[in-house]
Amino acid sequence: MFSTEDSIVAIATPPGRGGIGIVRISGPSANAIARSLLQHPSPLRARHATHTRVIGRDAEAPAAFDEVVATYFPSPHSYTGEDVVEISAHGSPVVLNAIVAGAIAAGGRLAAPGEFTLRAFLNGKRDLVQAEAVADLIDAVTPLQARVAFDQLDGTLTRRIGEIDGTLFHLLARLEASLDFPDEGYHFVEPGAAALEIEGVIAELDDLLASGRRGRLVREGATVVVIGRPNVGKSSLFNRLAGAERAIVTEIPGTTRDLVTERIDLEGLAITLVDTAGARATLDRIEHEGVTRAAQARGVADLLLVILDSSEPLTPDDERVLRETEGQKRLVVANKSDCGPAGAASAIAVSARTGDGVDRLRCAIRGALLGHETMRDTAAITNIRHIALLEDARGNLDAARSAAGDAGAPEEFVLADLQAARARLDEIVGTRTSEDVLQHIFERFCIGK
Ligand SMILES: Nc1nc2c(ncn2[C@@H]2O[C@H](COP(=O)(O)OP(=O)(O)OP(=O)(O)O)[C@@H](O)[C@H]2O)c(=O)[nH]1
Ligand SMILES: [Mg+2]
């Protein structure tokens, strides 16, 4: 299914116009295809920028249509591990499409999404974790997301998993030796010691999994929903946090009737902030629909901001909102601190009008979502596929530990469970991953990557 026999071509730069656009060609005939497009008399020098021109494919009168710089990366020292030629032309879609069309006419095939990175994986240039990190790095919307993705691209997670796998391998080897030489009356590893070692590996997996929840927040972002009774200043605070006058603010209770969303970067966290209609019983059909939508938004929130108005006593509507959200992750915010005494001691006092306390609120949001440690050197794992496989491996190790601690259980049981755990780890880095999983992973990429 994944053929690497042919040569693939695609525009590697984003769609649209720009100063420079790059067409990438990879595969056994990349060099020949490129040369048929270029007006360059001698062969391209490896890893040298060659200034030349691209020519049209009209055999009668092949006219040059742009000045380009072509770079030839012979296999295996290229992104994909194959022969690669990159042609940097002016960033005109017309020019770039003409180069791609010329490459296809010369025997190339248009690359599928992610196919360059897939080939890099298939040729052993990158493991699966690193290939997935390429997509994450390209998709990153905050600097923190980019840094975590680059860490994985750099191999941090791969090394960590390699170490864990190494420990398991060492243990397996000794257990097998004990099985192979039972008559010598000599255990290469005592069952009790094996259980302890497995325990240690479980602790490492737990450590990694604990970073996963926070890592996922960094990678996928979080939804923060602003709720409260009408007129407490939800939309005003929403606008403050968004840094733009997105939602309509008036002194009339019931102003907001729909969900208003805005993506914000909150100290590196990608947050989808949602403003909602004020919670109250209403006969107005439009407002009623807004209140229903607000309730739905509550259901999908990673964090709720429950807004109170510190210039007024709590109303029954406030009390109902507080009661209903008790079990959910929330921050209680006392707004309008500029014109009232601070409300409940546990509430965060802010003023959407003056901006007072808003920085503290930002910190509190980040803290509520991530915990207060910094992300440095910790978020090794962000991807739900990795998390699921690590959890499976942990399950296998649990079983292995029980079997190792149970004098009656045959050692083969321990071996089988340890092998199953290693297989899960292999799947993460891609040493044994089925084709449909690969297909699914690389479909996420865009063409040219
Ligand atoms: N003094 C003061 N007034 C505020 C503050 N925040 C909002 N207001 C005022 O409170 C009124 C209501 O503000 P909104 O932001 O529309 O309130 P809301 O909670 O979105 O109201 P609904 O959309 O009706 O549910 C407006 O007149 C705002 O100017 C604040 O921090 N201090
Ligand atoms: Mg509003």
Mean pLDDT by 10 residues, the chain (449 residues): 87 94 98 95 94 84 90 97 98 96 96 95 94 92 88 90 93 85 68 88 91 82 96 97 95 96 90 96 93 94 96 94 95 92 77 95 91 58 90 96 83 91 94 82 84
Torsion of CA 278, 284, 286, 289, to 10 degrees: 60
| Dihedral sign for Cα atoms in the order 192, 196, 201, 202 | positive
Topology of domain 143-217+383-430, CATH: Four Helix Bundle (Hemerythrin (Met), subunit A) (1.20.120)
Residue ranges per structural domain of the chain:
8-124, 143-217+383-430, 224-370
The pLDDT assigned to 381 comes to: 85
Q: Which CATH number fits domain 224-370: 3.10.20.440, 3.40.50.300, 3.40.50.2000, 3.40.50.800?
A: 3.40.50.300
In this structure, the strands spanning 109-110 and 84-91 are unpaired
For residue 47, give every residue at least 6 positions away whose Cβ sits within 8 Å of its Cβ, in sequence order, or none: 71, 72, 73, 77
For residue 72, give every residue at least 6 positions away whose Cβ sits within 8 Å of its Cβ, in sequence order, or none: 31, 34, 44, 45, 46, 47, 48, 50, 83, 84, 85
The pLDDT assigned to 120 comes to: 96
Q: Which residues line ligand 1 (CB under 6 A)?
A: 228, 230-236, 249-251, 253-256, 277-278, 335-336, 338-339, 351-353
State in Å: Cα 10 to ligand 1 middle: 52
For the CA of 231, the nearest ligand: 1
What does the H/E/C string look like for 252-290? Answer: CCCCCCCCEEEEEEECCEEEEEEECCCCCCCCCHHHHHH
CA 268 to CA 17: how far, in whole Å?
Answer: 29
Residue nearest to atom 9 of ligand 1 (CA): 233
Topology of domain 8-124, CATH: Gyrase A; domain 2 (3.30.1360)
DSSP 3-state percent helix, strand, coil across the chain (nearest 5): 45, 15, 35
State in Å: Cα 288 to ligand 2 middle: 14
Q: Which helix (H) or strand (E) holds 328?
A: none
CB atoms within 10 A of CB 315: 15
State in Å: Cα 239 to ligand 2 middle: 10
CA 246 to CA 250: how far, in whole Å?
Answer: 13
State in Å: Cα 106 to ligand 2 middle: 60
Please count the CA atoms within 13 angstroms of the CA of 195 that sit on its side-chain side.
13
Q: Which helix (H) or strand (E) holds 178?
A: helix 156-180
Q: Tell me which of 249, 274, 311, 351 to substitute to probe ligand 1's pocket, judged by most ligand atoms within 8 Å of the beta carbon.
A: 249
The pLDDT assigned to 41 comes to: 86
